[in-house]
Amino acid sequence: MSERHAAPVGIGLGIVLLAAVAGLGIALPEVTDDDAPGGAEETSAISLPDTLPHGLVAQDAVGGELAGRYADAQRSMADNLEELYDDAAAVRGYASEDQRVQATVTVLDRAPGLFDPDGPPVDPEILGLERSVYELVRVGDAICNLSYQQVVPQGQPVDETAPPAAVRCQRGEGERTIELFASGVTVEQAIEVLDAVAD
């Protein structure tokens, strides 16, 4: 695939990832609280970094004609989250230079609640499986939903070295929810990104 064709494919995937995560709420915060004049309600501006661990760069910060589209889409997602939850929110999409790693971070100024994106977990043996297409696991302070491309039938070996097709993790930091949705990363790498945001 030529470089000219590869870039739109990667950017298209980035937009899909942004859309997939927008309904739940997450991102990377530097917060400033501004008191509006006249006793108006206090607002929080959430600023997200241009870069993240593992070579991730904000797709609206790399220039080019599509950067504006990313910025508009992210602004719309944050506005919709704020309208839904009545709390400050921010969303930003990231990708590695070769587009193999895609990630979306969302931050919501609200303490985290229930997190089970694919539904409540069930023991795979009840379904006659060694591993389901998704797993819900706790890793440190985060809860992560690991999505796999295929189930593993009971009695078949599980390749523990194969990374999940997608990782979605959520953690709380005070009264703030931080969430990451990414592909092309291991759960350990996802946690490193979340920790960088929380720090």
Say yes or no to pLDDT of 199 above 80: no
Choice between 40 and 171, residue whose per-residue pLDDT is larger: 171
Average pLDDT over residues 50-78: 93
Choice between 160 and 40, residue whose per-residue pLDDT is larger: 160
Choice between 112 and 11, residue whose per-residue pLDDT is larger: 112
Give the C-alpha distances (Å, rounded to integers) separating 107 from 104, 120, 126, 175: 10, 23, 36, 11
pLDDT for position 39: 32
**Are 26 and 170 a contacting pair, CB within 8 Å?**
yes
> 44 pLDDT band (50/70/90 cuts)?
low
pLDDT for position 125: 95
> 104 pLDDT band (50/70/90 cuts)?
very high
Q: Which long-range contacts (CB under 8 A, 24 or more apart) does 79-82 make?
A: 80/22, 81/22, 81/25, 81/106, 81/108
> What is the rounded CA–CA span in Å between residue 154 and residue 52?
38
pLDDT for position 34: 40
pLDDT for position 37: 37
Beta strands in the chain (DSSP E): 31-34, 43-46, 51-52, 56-58, 89-95, 102-108, 129-131, 134-139, 142-147, 152-153, 166-173, 176-183
Give pTM, 2 decimals.
0.77
Lowest mean pLDDT among 43-47, 98-102, 162-166: 43-47
Q: Tell me the per-residue pLDDT of 151-164, one tens digit each, with 9 for 90 and over.
A: 999 999 999 888 99
